[in-house]
Amino acid sequence: MASNSSLSRDAALARAAELHTQLHHHAYRYYVLDAPEIPDAEYDKLFQELQALEAEYPELQTPDSPTQRVGGALLDELQSVPHRVPMLSIQTETDTTAEGARAFDARIRKRLGLAAEAPPVDYAAELKFDGLAISLRYENGLLVRAVTRGNGEQGEDVTANIRTIGQIPLRLQGQGVPPVLEVRGEIYMRRDAFERLNARQREAGERTFINPRNTAAGAVRQLDPKITAQRPLSFYAYGLGEVVDWTQAPETHSGTLDALAAFGLPVSAERAVASGAEGLVAFHQQVAAKRDALPFDIDGVVYKVNSLALQRELGFRNREPVWAVAHKYPAQEQMTTVRDIDVQVGRTGKLTPVAKLAPVFVGGVTVTNATLHNQDEISRKDVRIGDTVIVRRAGDVIPEVVSVLLEMRPPQGTASEPWDLYKRLEGKCPVCASDIVREEGEVDYRCTGGLFCGAQRKQAILHFAQRRAMDIEGLGDKLVEQLVDQGLIRTLPELYTLGVAKLSALERMAQKSAQNIVDALEQSKRTTLPRFLFGLGIRHVGEATAKDLARHFGQLDRIMDASVEQLLEVNDVGPVVAQSIHTFFEQPHNREVVEQLRAAGVSWEEGEGSASSAPRPLMGKTLVLTGTLPTLSRDEAKDMIEAAGGKVAGSVSKKTDYVVAGAEAGSKLAKAQELGLTVLDEDGLRQLLQG
């Protein structure tokens, strides 16, 4: 490599710009088009020349420099970042036959009010990649942030890791790139790359990885970008998030993908515009025929109404787009034998029988356990120890025993007896020896030990501490296991008695880490009513139901004292859920837990609730939140607005009544000012809420 020390600063700047262009071009040819124009050695020579220039003139090392792909500094943690446009999931069509495609087309035509003789609807048909969803934010063509899906509302900032993936351009190419373009897509690992990675692991005497999907997801979420850089990751773009001022925006989804490809982003060639139901059926069958020959794993195909105008007309239902569906393929199945049947105790005390299997490779992973669901399922299928069974990865995720091959059962006299959960356990919980019961109308046996049961304590604490509940940073599986096993925690309120001395005495817990846990516990005391309700782990009460309860009643005491009839008045709460909530708060020990948590300082803002006759000052109003408010989290502000009868929207339009803006408010604030909308700060919001 020639020395660059003789170059002036201006000459070095010009040469660096030239090298940027050449290296980006050759990386695109290599990673995206799979059609390199120069040998690797020549590329390395250009790369090293740029490295030398940047070493001599550090100001040349820009964020989009090809040298910035090699991995940056070690991260302390992955920061949580809200999505400007939520990353929503799509509905799954469970009928894996051709009728599944026809059913989707029929739903679309009905929603659009099309007569039988009307022309067929055009759809964009694509592959459903088996990887990790990611959102890439480009500003003025430059990659500025990469965020995982997370819970759909917010994800983890993995920008440093994503920069290491050669297929993802650091700067978009071509003309007409909008000022802000959020590209949604999938990080995945090719099968051949996965095999090479495992071969290297075996040669180095290191552990091998289980499957491409989990390996890709784990690599993206590494705290050390250099580790991510060593993983052979790939990327495909398949959609958009936030877009600002795209003057040449296409009118179809397929056109959008073409535009993304023109910007230098990798887009799968395995896609088509399908006409009507039969077009969808043909695509589904074509992909099924070549599924095993694809270089990467998929778990189905995706259909989207191609016209963006029709997408907007169809809208969303239950936070899922009406205009899209994932059409799965029949789950892959394999044959193996049942070595034993174990019983697992879940967070709510549910006892689940689990088949311990001779290892078998199914759907891309080695399976050694499979759920048997409950005693009724075992009896219906007549699963016995020693049986040969068919195992399927249900939904390509949870392995289950589908059926028993009775013709392969050992001859009479050597076969095991029919398996009975109650008899096997002698009526006692396998963890705490409490009685197990099976309530009338229930299919599951449950442990009556509650928080006295070690299995339930651990899971109850983990559920309480998770991000979507009390969000106690650092309180993970291993720490909770130590706390419970050593008898330091028996109930949820005892979490708030932990101090630095107790925690730092635990294995692998330094004083600084212990202090971080104590600080996180203290911070978690300030929460919201929906988060607290969800964190209690009431059976059948998920995040949405917890929000509905808080919105309806406004105050926890009203929920605790509500009758089944009163609970049934809550949106989407049916008899089963109402009875579960009522039964939970009927138990004295559960009320005691709540009071002890309150006494420990856990608190939240309460209101009158929609069931109250109190006025609701924001009834019928639409608000948009942007930026960071001084004292309210996004969830707290949203809960307060909804409790006052208002609706929180994700984007600004002429129909928006108020925009609540905090620090670092971005394009939504600019849009509000452009439309002449009323903009409030946190104090203004609080005044509005008071009526």
- Give long-range contacts, CB 8 A cutoff, 24+ apart: 364-368: 364/130, 364/211, 364/212, 364/213, 364/297, 365/210, 365/211, 365/393, 366/210, 367/334, 367/336, 367/391, 367/393, 367/399
Q: Which letter does DSSP use for residue 269 in this model?
A: S
CB 274 within 8 A of CB 125: yes
What value, to the nearest 5°, has the Cα angle with vertex 91 and ends 366 and 649? 125
- The structure tokens listed for 322 are 């009406």
Q: Identify the burial level of 430 via C-beta atoms within 10 angstroms of its C-beta, where 0-12 means exposed, 13-18 middle and 19 or more buried.
A: middle
- Residues in a beta bridge with 252: 307
Q: Note the Cα 678 to chain centre separation in Å.
A: 34
Q: How far apart are CA 691 and CA 688, in angstroms?
A: 5
Q: How far apart are CA 236 and CA 168, in angstroms?
A: 9
Give the DSSP H or E segment for 475: none
Q: How far apart are CA 644 and CA 8, in angstroms?
A: 65
List strands edge to edge, sheet with 234-244: 142-148, 132-139, 180-188, 234-244
- Catalytic annotation on 502? no
DSSP E strands: which ranges in 122-279?
122-129, 132-139, 142-148, 154-156, 180-188, 234-244, 272-275
- The structure tokens listed for 656 are 């928006």
Helix pair 634-643, 543-553: axis angle to 10 deg: 50
What value, to the nearest 5°, has the Cα angle with vertex 10 and ends 7 and 12? 45
Q: How far apart are CA 306 and CA 123, in angstroms?
A: 5
Q: How far apart are CA 287 and CA 327, in angstroms?
A: 11
Catalytic residue, candidates 128, 304, 458, 638: 128
CA distances to 608, 627, 689 from 650, rounded to whole Å, are 25, 12, 20
320-321 and 678-680 as β-strands: parallel, antiparallel, unpaired?
unpaired
180-188 and 132-139 as β-strands: parallel, antiparallel, unpaired?
antiparallel
Q: Note the Cα 137 to chain centre separation in Å.
A: 18
DSSP E strands: which ranges in 385-510?
388-394, 398-404, 436-437, 446-447
Q: Which letter does DSSP use for residue 72 in this model?
A: -
Number of helices (H) and strands (E) in the chain: give both, helices first: 25, 24
Q: Identify the burial level of 517 via C-beta atoms within 10 angstroms of its C-beta, where 0-12 means exposed, 13-18 middle and 19 or more buried.
A: buried
Q: Identify the burial level of 527 via C-beta atoms within 10 angstroms of its C-beta, where 0-12 means exposed, 13-18 middle and 19 or more buried.
A: buried
**Count of other CB atoms within 10 angstroms of residue 157:** 18
- The structure tokens listed for 109 are 């035509």
SS (H, E, C) 623-634: EEEECECCCCCH
Q: How far apart are CA 415 and CA 384, in angstroms?
A: 8
Catalytic residue ranges: 128
